[in-house]
């Protein structure tokens, strides 16, 4: 049995494992390391995962879902054909696919995983991630923050005995910043900050809005298939701008061609509001770590969105230096998660490496404040463990009754940074009895203990009676009971998942269908003919004929995509 490292991303996901003296990525059934975080359901009710599903975003938008990680831990539901899924259930299909890839590659059962999450994921989002893994049949050994995982992968191979560095993680849907110090084999997380709703998808959406406004098109008046076509062009435009000074978005709507050109400087001006949003988490992380930009030895970029030249430019201006670009921004987190597996198992190759972490959010309780006019007002946040406190940690605070003859105190447990608890996340509550007495005479001691596995223990003691109340809040634990998980597993087992051994042929068909919808005239007819020839070959079940037809179709589709990238 094996334990794997998983980078569960908004746009793409990866899986890795620890072998001998290093971490290595595991390819999927298509021989690729990146598995798109996209799910689709076909006409027969079969669930498609990854590249095949991504190809159907344009051709079958009503039964295809992407970027669902942005809504994990919420009530949002996705209706795909005959099924209704939550974000964590869609994520479970991605995890299940990665698990199957790992089992096929390692030739052994995979039972556990270290899974990366954005550093700024709250309690509900972390619980939902763990639920997704449980539904997929995996035990989560640990949830590790994405920038921390990347820092492990980066820091493990540094020759300098002492290094301070900032990890800038801009993925498809989230943005995280971590500041770490490497000192004599100890990787010490100093601070983390982030924005759970900022990522590469937002830059694509800005280009999409630019296209619509350029042609005075209203998104509400366009069907989902047309919107998917425009989004695909915006994404292609964003990628082209990574290598070219300008790009063109071209979409055919109701037999009319709409074309928009944009250059890099126009793109930078367009996304200025997004670039400004990057500054605040960076400034907070530096402030919490008591560091200035000049105190850092390096800035590390991870996440696919950091490939955009304007991101590198913004970071260079902010820190007065070029960021490190010697690591693959897409692969680092998965490798770090695999290294964390080895760290947890105390692999001999990592005996001298120690990782410390911090509490990502402030943990506290609700208190009553006495206003200037003598009136009492409840609902104020009282911090007990501040954000970015090194963990494990234990803190105790004494609070007093506010009313005469008060016979109990309700202790609410909150997570967040706002001064009002209504704007923070409630994790739980405890109630304890106290002897009736004048206001301010009776007191309780509240102790919060938070460990590296994300388990918060809350202990409340009456200072007069010695009565003790205790609760354990597992930040990384799911809400489902074992019976509920088993029941949902049985339900999901009824759903057919597309088999790995047919993935290449299915992908080729999906890509052909997608390009057919994007093309016009003779090129469209040529694709239709080649698709028909390939489908005919598949019905013969003759491997030689299938391979020949597949080769011809694949070569033609690749030529079209190359033409798209230069047009």
Q: Which of 354, 4, 327, 340 is nearest to 144 (CA)?
A: 340
Phi, psi at residue 233, to the nearest 5°?
A: -65, -40
Instruction: Collapse the DSSP code of 389 into the 3-class scheme (helix H, G, I; strand E, B; otherwise coil) and give the result.
Output: coil
Distance CA 390, CA 451 (A): 10
Distance CA 266, CA 270 (A): 6
Q: Which of 457, 461, 460 is nearest to 473 (CA)?
A: 457
Phi, psi at residue 341, to the nearest 5°?
A: -60, -45
Distance CA 83, CA 34 (A): 26
Distance CA 114, CA 372 (A): 51
Distance CA 156, CA 251 (A): 47
Q: Which of 144, 60, 141, 49 is nearest to 101 (CA)?
A: 49
Task: Return the number of other C-beta atoms located less than 10 Å from residue 84's C-beta.
Answer: 10
Task: Return the number of other C-beta atoms located less than 10 Å from residue 392's C-beta.
Answer: 14
**DSSP result, 95-138:** HHHHHHHHHHHHTS-EEEEEEEE-TT--HHHHHHHHHHHHHTT-
Q: Which of 155, 124, 129, 158 is nearest to 142 (CA)?
A: 129
Distance CA 392, CA 298 (A): 27
Phi, psi at residue 249, to the nearest 5°?
A: -105, 125
Instruction: Collapse the DSSP code of 258 into the 3-class scheme (helix H, G, I; strand E, B; otherwise coil) and give the result.
Output: strand
Distance CA 327, CA 314 (A): 19
Q: State the catalytic residues.
A: 7, 69, 146, 169
Strand partners, 356: 188
Instruction: Collapse the DSSP code of 239 into the 3-class scheme (helix H, G, I; strand E, B; otherwise coil) and give the result.
Output: helix
Helix (H) or strand (E) holding 267: helix 264-270
C-alpha R_g of the chain: 26
Taking the C-alpha atoms of 296, 302, 308 and 313 in order, what is their torsion angle to the nearest 10 degrees?
0
Phi, psi at residue 333, to the nearest 5°?
A: -65, -45
At which residue do the structure tokens 């300008």 appear? 246
Distance CA 55, CA 34 (A): 14
Residues ≥6 apart with Cβ < 8 Å to 70: 10, 173, 174, 196, 197, 201
């Amino acid at each position: 049995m094996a334990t794997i490292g998983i980078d569960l991303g908004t746009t793409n996901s990866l899986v890795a494992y620890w072998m001998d003296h290093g971490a290595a990525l595991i390819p999927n059934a298509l021989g690729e390391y990146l598995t798109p975080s996209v799910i689709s359901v076909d006409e027969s009710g079969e669930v498609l995962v990854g590249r095949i599903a991504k190809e159907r975003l344009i051709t079958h938008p009503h039964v295809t879902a992407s970027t669902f990680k942005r809504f994990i831990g919420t009530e949002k539901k996705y209706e795909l054909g005959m099924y209704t899924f939550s974000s964590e259930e869609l994520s479970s299909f991605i995890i299940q696919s990665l698990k199957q890839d790992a089992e096929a590659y390692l030739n052994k059962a995979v039972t556990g995983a270290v899974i990366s999450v954005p550093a700024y994921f709250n309690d509900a989002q972390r619980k939902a991630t763990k639920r997704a893994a449980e539904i997929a049949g995996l035990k989560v050994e640990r949830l590790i923050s994405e920038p921390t995982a990347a820092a492990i992968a980066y820091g493990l191979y540094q020759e300098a005995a002492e290094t301070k560095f900032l990890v800038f993680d801009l993925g498809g849907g989230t943005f995280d910043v971590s500041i770490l110090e490497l000192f004599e084999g100890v990787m010490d997380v100093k601070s983390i900050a982030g924005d759970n709703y900022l990522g590469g998808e937002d830059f694509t959406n800005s280009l999409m809005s630019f296209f619509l406004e350029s042609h005075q098109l209203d998104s509400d008046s366009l069907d989902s298939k047309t919107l998917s076509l425009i989004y695909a062009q915006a994404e292609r435009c964003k990628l082209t701008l990574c290598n070219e000074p300008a790009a063109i978005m071209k979409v055919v709507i109701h037999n009319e061609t709409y074309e928009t050109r944009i250059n890099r400087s126009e793109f930078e001006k367009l996304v200025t509001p997004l670039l400004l949003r990057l500054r605040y988490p960076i400034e907070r992380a530096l402030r919490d770590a008591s560091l200035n930009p000049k105190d850092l030895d390096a800035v590390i970029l991870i996440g696919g969105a950091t490939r955009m030249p304007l991101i590198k430019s913004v970071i260079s201006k902010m820190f007065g230096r070029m960021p490190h670009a010697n690591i693959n921004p897409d692969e680092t987190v998965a490798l770090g998660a695999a290294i964390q597996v080895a760290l947890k198992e105390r692999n001999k190759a990592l005996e001298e490496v120690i990782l410390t972490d911090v509490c990502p959010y402030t943990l506290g309780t609700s208190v009553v404040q006495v206003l200037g006019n003598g009136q009492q007002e409840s609902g104020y946040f009282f911090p007990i463990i501040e954000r970015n406190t090194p963990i494990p940690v234990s803190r105790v605070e004494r609070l007093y009754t506010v009313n005469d003859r008060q016979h109990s105190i309700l202790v609410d447990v909150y997570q967040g940074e706002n001064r009002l608890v209504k704007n923070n996340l409630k994790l739980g509550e405890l109630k304890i009895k106290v002897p009736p007495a004048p206001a301010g005479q009776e007191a309780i001691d509240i102790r919060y203990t938070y460990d590296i596995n994300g388990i918060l223990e809350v202990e409340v003691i009456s200072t007069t009676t010695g009565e003790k109340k205790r609760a354990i809040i597992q930040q990384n634990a799911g809400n489902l009971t074992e019976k509920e998980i088993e029941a949902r597993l049985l339900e999901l087992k009824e759903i057919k998942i597309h088999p790995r051994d047919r993935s290449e042929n299915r992908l080729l068909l999906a890509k052909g269908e997608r390009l057919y919808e994007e093309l016009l005239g003779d090129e469209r007819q040529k694709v239709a003919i080649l698709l028909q020839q390939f489908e005919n070959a598949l019905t013969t079940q003759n491997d030689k004929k299938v391979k020949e037809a597949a080769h011809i179709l694949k070569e033609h589709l690749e030529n079209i995509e190359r033409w798209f990238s230069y047009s």
